[in-house]
Amino acid sequence: MRITLDPPLIEPIQSAINRGHLPAASKVVVNLFDGGARDRLWMSLNNGERQAMTYTVRTDPFMERLYEQLQHSDHPISRPTRSAHIWEIALPASLVPGVHRIEVYSEDEFGQHHHGAFSFEILP
């Protein structure tokens, strides 16, 4: 399970990881390994109530960014294609500066459960 923000945080410092300003209309995007339309995912933000995520077929924003980074390097990769392993949910626009934690829970079509977490910091 890979959890990312789309678009990514706007980083004021090049070396910052998961720290920056939250762009408008940001989403949490999850690529669930070997996931599909019969699986279900939920997100909890800051230990809040679980919210159902929406299954969608789209490119993985992590792979889009990796492609942009590597396309002119000695290790180019193929342009990302649409994936059938993606779920997304909008982040609230009212998130205040500080550290936030996303937890994602999944249940596959066979009843198996998985859990992942992602933390990020919104700067003032």
- Domain 2-122 matching CATH 3.40.50: the answer reads no
What pLDDT score was predicted for residue 44?
A: 98
Contact between 122 and 96 (Cβ < 8 Å):
yes
- 3-state SS string for 42-61: EEEECCCCCEECEEEEECCH
Copy the structure tokens of residue 51.
């919210």
What region, left, alpha or beta, does residue 62 occupy, with left being phi > 0 and alpha being psi -120 to 50 degrees?
Answer: alpha
Q: In the predicted model, is pLDDT for residue 17 greater than 90?
A: no
Q: In the predicted model, is pLDDT for residue 18 greater than 80?
A: yes
What are the domain boundaries of the chain?
Answer: 2-122
d(CA 68, CA 62): 10
d(CA 71, CA 77): 6
3-state SS, residue 88: strand
- How many residues does this entry show for the chain? 124
pTM of the model: 0.88
| pLDDT tens per residue, range 30-76 | 999 999 999 999 999 999 999 999 999 999 998 888 888 788 778 77
